[in-house]
Each structure stands twice: as structure tokens, then as C-alpha cells.
Amino acid sequence: MTEMDPSKKVADRYLKREVLGEGTYGVVYKAIDTKTGQTVAIKKIRLGKQKEGINFTALREIKLLKELKDPNIIELIDAFPHKGNLHLVFEFMETDLEAVIRDRNIFLSPADIKSYIQMTLKGLAFCHKKWVLHRDMKPNNLLIGPNGQLKLADFGLARIFGSPDRKFTHQVFARWYRAPELLFGTKQYGSGVDVWAAACIFAELLLRRPFLQGTSDIDQLGKIFAAFGTPTSSQWPDMVYLPDYVEYQYVPAPPLRSLFPMASDDALDLLSKMFTYDPKVRISVQQALEHRYFSSAPPPTDPPKLPRPNPKSRVSDYNPQEGPTVLSPPRKSRRVMPDRDRFEGNSDQAEKVDDRVGERQAVGDIAGKNEQVPMSIDFSIFGSKPLSRPTINSFRMSLVLACRNRLSMDQASKGLSHHLGLSSRSIVQTFFLNK
């Protein structure tokens, strides 16, 4: 009798239940480990044709998660191939921070907010201690387990940093969480980009909605400068030397208290240090954890006592014709506006820049987005429609389509050549003559 294939033997150990989410690279299932009785989440990654080999994103995620063992980082339990697919077995997490922020039935006290952001920074601090940049920090990548513990997840864009001459792509993070140096096109950066994204998450916890909702990279910079004032050369000396630097009209900074009226003085002080323009001066994650905000009253809520969405209320939204409700841990959640589907670009350029990093997307829909909550600047112009979550490369396609509809060929080619680094003639041939 022939011996059973080892990969099949491992696969038979896990009993798959319902689908939790689906993304670019595969599907996430809820499953039971028949050996231990533990509930797990299995991410099945499609490998494609054999000649293409395994995708590097999955390899990086496996490698990094095997090294990053911390209470605030998702645990990779197992990894095995089966039927031409790669399966990653993770600990099961009930929900994510985005679901907590969006749930209008949940009241987040100052102590709750302090606990969530403290766990976020602890996980990030461990990454930076191991010289790892996450590069995709946002609320739906912060998963929450049955005991209330928050953990960083989705390390597909993570990279080792620390080499002084190493260059990275600036097309990382979802746009709303992207630091200004990335929006200005820098290819040499460090842990400050994760700190800025963590500050955006902190602000989102305080406001109960995304803080800076730019519709393009240029608009995102405008939102940042409207919130914190246009940076001066004394605030950020290296700004004018960045590859995509564009001068903005000077706007003075409004009082931070006007943007976050319910925040404590200590919270505002920490936010101001995390939102510092110059990445060389921006506070580190470890310094943020040592800030007086975390030692002052009230103390952070114990994780098991933190409020979380009621699973029953989410399951009740199930529509048999539309398929199962996406629960955690999903690949991603993307807000979709009715007429914006055509604006979704492809990931060809980003893949060429940084070892073929692809976009990660899954369609999601969050209820209660239009309810009245304390807002930051300029949110009223968006009306009642929720914005679509930005993707890493959506700016490129949205700019092309806008140029087709509103600009002459000559104007569009000049604008695109500035942003995409191509000649005016190649712009016209590529985007207008060959459409």
C-alpha cells in the first residue's frame, strides 16, 4: 500500500467551514483543527501555472511571520501546499478594528481608544525592533481576537529596512494612511511612514471615521496641509528635494483642538508628534508608547473588556442571493461608489517597481457610514455618498480618465508627463490615440 501524500495528510487535519473573505490571491476560510479542536483561519493562495512559481508576496509573508512572534502580531500556525495551492493557517480572529469603528452600536470611551491604539503601537514597535516596515497599516489590517487582543496582520507589503542606500517604492499604504513624504515620491524612507499611518488610525478612533479622505495623491496632500498647515522649509528642510515635490499655497495650521474637540490634551500632544511633517523629527513608535498619554488617567481598558461588534447582528445581514457576509479576517474591505468602478486601475506599474507587489482588494460594505459623528475638515463636500477606499494604484487610472473627459490632449499630456514621468508624445500615444 502506497504511503499517503504528506501534504494531503496535513490538509485532512483541517475541516473547512464557511468562507470568511476573498481577495486577489485567494480565499480565507474558517476551519477546525481536528487534532487540537482549535478554530483557525486558512488562507488559500492560488499559485497559478507551475511555470510561474509561487508568488513572492506569500513567501515574504511566511518568512516574516515566522520571525515576528509577539502577542500583538497575528500568529502563523502552519503552511502547506495542497492541490496546486498554498495554504496558510492562522489563528482565528473574530473581527477587525474597522468593524469596531464603523459599528454605531458601540461606544468607545477614552480608555477603550487608548487600549486599541496602545496595542497597535506595541505590535508596530516589535516590527520596528526587528527592522521590519509594515507598509500597509489601516484599521481592517488590525484584527481582534475572541479575548479582545488586537493584532497586526497582512504582511504582504512588509519589508526589511535599515540599509542606508536601499530604495523602496512609494506606492505603499492605502492613500488615506500615506505619509506626505510618500506622496511626494520619496524612495528612501524608514519607520516614520508606519508612525504616520498609526496616527491616522488614532485619529480615526477619535472621529469614528477616516480622518484625511483624499481622492487623489494631490488631493491627499491638500487635505493634509489644510489640517496641519502648509509645511515650511524650517519645519521640513528636505521637502523641496523630494522627487515629486510641488509647491502649495501657504495655509496656516488650524488649532488641533478644532479637529479633535473631544480629545484630551495628552492625546492631542501625542497626535501632533506623530503627525510631524519631517520624518527625521517625527516621534518613533517606542517614544509614542512612552508618552504621558498612556500613563495618565484613565488607564487603558483591559482587552477582554473592550467593546466588539455583536456577531449575530452581522450575520443577520446575510443575503442568499449575494453570497455570505464577509467576516474577519478578510483580505481587505473596499468601499465602492456607484459610478466609480471604472476608476479602478491595474497593478502593472506597482508590480514592476517593487518585486511585483499586487493590490489586495475584496468588496465589502459597511453600514452606518453616514451617521453624524465628530468630523475633521472638508468632509461635508462629499455629501451623503461614502467615499471608496483608495487602492495603491487608483490615482494613475483616475487621472487618465479625468484627462480624457475634461482636458485637451495637449493639456492632459503635459499633466500626465509630470506625474507619471513619461514624455508628452508617449502619453498621447498610450492614453489617447490607443484608447
Residue 192 has which C-alpha cell?
516614520
Q: Is 358 annotated to bind ligand?
A: no
Q: Which position among 136, 154, 217, 354 bears the catalytic label? A: 136
Conformational region of residue 19, where left means phi above 0, alpha means psi within -120 to 50, and beta covers everything else: beta
Q: Is 21 annotated to bind ligand?
A: yes
Work out the number of other CB atoms within 10 angstroms of the CB of residue 93. 23
Q: Is 22 annotated to bind ligand?
A: yes
Calpha distance 84→64 (Å, rounded): 23
Residue 251 has which C-alpha cell?
495655509
Q: Is 43 annotated to bind ligand?
A: yes
Calpha distance 190→182 (Å, rounded): 11
Q: Is 27 annotated to bind ligand?
A: yes
SS3 33: strand
| DSSP letters for 294-330 | GTSSSPPPPGGGS----HHHHHTT-BTTTB----SS-
Q: Is 132 annotated to bind ligand?
A: no
Residue among 401, 356, 256, 375 at smallest CA distance from 55: 356
Q: Is 84 annotated to bind ligand?
A: no
Q: Is 24 annotated to bind ligand?
A: yes
Calpha distance 30→28 (Å, rounded): 7
Q: Is 26 annotated to bind ligand?
A: yes
CB-CB contact of 56 with 356 (8 Å): yes
Backbone angles phi, psi at 96, to 5 degrees: -140, 170
Q: Is 435 annotated to bind ligand?
A: no
Calpha distance 225→188 (Å, rounded): 22
Backbone angles phi, psi at 229, to 5 degrees: 85, 150
136 is catalytic: yes
- Say which DSSP state 176 is in: G
Binding residues for ATP, by number, are 20-28, 43-44
Binding residues, by number, are 20-28, 43-44
Active site residues: 136
